[in-house]
Structure formats: structure tokens, C-alpha cells
Structure 1
Amino acid sequence: MSIMQSNSTPTILIVPGLRDHVDDHWQTLLERRLTRARSVPPLEHDKLSCAARVAALDAALAQIDGPVVLVAHSAGVMITVHWAQRHTRQIHGALLATPPDFDAPMPPGYPSPDILQREGWLPVPRARLPFPSIVAASTNDPLARIERVEELAHAWGSRFVDIGAAGHLNPASGHGEWPLADELIAELCDERPRQSASL
């Protein structure tokens, strides 16, 4: 399913994870393909700061008029849910792909629980999101067990989608283009925005 582009089509705002923009990543490829897509710019400083990441997302949203669908991956999902706790701008919907489980120790090369705590990522927000959302989870993601991701999806009020054995859905796990993203984004673009008061 392709994403139709028109004046009423929401802008797609890409929210990358901590590694920011990776050339062969599905988010980067998606942004290149879509005319109404842009990305939260990478940080020059405070790259591990949750507050700085949330502020960058808010600044990117301030540059967009009209409806927005957020497309977040990995720590970008956590940036999105932290942003939703602090800001009230209406969001048309959000695709939240392979969120990490920050409550469990991460593999070598990733921030430790102490660092995540110090940088403001913990506790992970579990309040219901005030906009439609879809959480996509992999059965063999090294950064989160699928059962944990399903628990988060339930807490956030998100539709949960099992995408099979896709690793962390990144080039390191053999994934570039992710065609299902187009279908899920199209579904979110068709959703009517919901006010938080209606939840």
C-alpha cells in the first residue's frame, strides 16, 4: 500500500534512535521516498540526554503546520512517549517500531541502566498516549523481549503488531527497506485524531 500525498496528508516526522541517521536504515530510506517527510535533526551535544532529545522533537514539530504522524524507531519511541508526557500539541498518530526495554540491562555497547537513569530516560512512561499509535515488535529483538514490548503497547493504548523475527529492525539485523511501514503509516494517516479527553 502506498502513502498518498495531498494537501491533507499528514507530514511524516521521523524520530530516529540514539544512533541518529543511518544511511541504509528504513527510516532514512522512507524520508528520501516521501515528499511530505522530514526528520528530527541530530544533536551536536547532549546526545544521551532524554530532555535534549525531547526538546529537539518539540522544536521539529514547531516547524510543521497541520497534521503530523510520528515514525519512531528504538530510542526514538522513548523520546516520543517522554515528549507526550510533557507537551500537548495534537498528533495525528504514531508508528512506534521496536522500542527497547530500558528497564532491563542492554547488550554491550549500549547505555547502562545507571546512565539511562542519570540522563532522564527512566522511569519509562506508561501513561496512555493521547493519540492513535501502533507498536511494532520483533520476536528476536536483542534490545527487548516481545512480551515486554507488548506490555508497553498495552500501557500506551497502542495497537500491537508482531512483525516476526526482524532483530532490531536495523541494517545490523539485515534490514534496509521496511515495506510494512508504508501500510502502518497509511493506516495512521487514515485515523481521525483523538483528543486526550476522549480516551
Structure 2
Amino acid sequence: MTSRLWVKLFLSTLLLGGVVTSITGFIVRWDEFSSIFMPFDFLEVLSVLFWLFGVGLIFSIISQMGFFAYLTIHRFGLGIFKSHKLWNGVQVVLILFVLFDLVYFRYNAFAEQGDSLLPYIGLAAMLLAAGLITAFLKVRISTKETFIPALFFMIVVTTIEWVPILRVNEYSWVWLMIFPLIICNAYQLLILQKINEQSRMHRQQLDQKKNIPLKK
């Protein structure tokens, strides 16, 4: 990936994180922010929007750090296990383990006596659904071998990025963070192939220019 395309990916993901968090923030924290709309207070709305956008930039940076970390881990995994099938098997085990953790361990840590298990299952199911949709879309623009790595990234890496908020277990923050993470992660995963193709074309053009003989 050329530096110009990397900067383009970084800035577009940054903007996406800010916008998604701004929208999500007003939805999940409407009870808190509704008072600034009735009556409408422009400066107050602007300040809240600016704050949410800034938080979204932080979420986006976390997402990008996780994405590039996974690209490195994926290459290491292929190098260690020497086989796509074996490495995919390891990733499937980790996916199941993380989904189990999201339900069982969070329920044991935060549920009070008599609380239902369904909200914890629902949270894991939502992440699984987002991962499956993204993985299927990745297969459509790439190859079937990308399904498991895409699913692993969307579930395992997203959960790791989500851990600081999951440990606090504050309801509005849990939802405020997860949607930007899912969307930013899916965006990076789905656009990577296009950016790599653009990068290859750009390098080919540069090589062609270098090989053009100088006129005497």
C-alpha cells in the first residue's frame, strides 16, 4: 500500500468513525441529550456534536490499530501453521471462545440475581450477525478463503477493541462504541482489496515511468 493511499484510508475511516458515533450518540443517549432540542439550543447541540465526533475519532483510531495489528497477526499465523486450513481452524476455535466469553463470563461478572441471560446472548448474536454479513460481502468481492479470516477479524478483533468499555459495562457506552467499531472495521476490511489494487496500479505506473528511456 502506498503512503498516499494509506493516508486516504486513514482519513476516510477517521471521518466515518466520527460521523457514525455522532449519530449513534444521539440515539443511544437521547434521554440525556433530548433537553437541548426542546427548546432548541444551537450552541449546546453543536458542542455535544463536537464532543461525540471527537469520541468517534478515538474509536476510529482504535479500529485502525486493530485492523493493522490483525494483518500482521494473520501473516504470522499463516507462517506458523503453514496451512490455510489449519490456521482457519485455529481462528474458528478462537471465534467460538470469544462468543462464549461475551455471554457466559459477562453474565457471571455483571448479572444480578434473577437477571435474564437473553441480553447477553443478544449482544453476542448481534456481533455474530455483523461478522457473518461482512464475511459474506468479503467473499463476494474476493475469494471464499477470506470468509474465516474476515469473520475472525469482525468478532475477535472487534471484541478486543471493545474490551475497555465491556469491563466498565456502562449500557450507553457499550452501544456507543460497538457500532462505530463494527462499521469502521467492516469498511476497512471491504475496501482493502480495492486499495491494494490501486496501489499495484500506481506502482506499475511508476515503474513504467522509470523504464522510459531518456530522449537524447
TM-score, scaled relative to structure 1: 0.24
Flag the structure with larger Rg. Answer: 2
**Larger fraction in helix:** 2
**Larger fraction in strand:** 1
TM-score, scaled relative to structure 2: 0.23
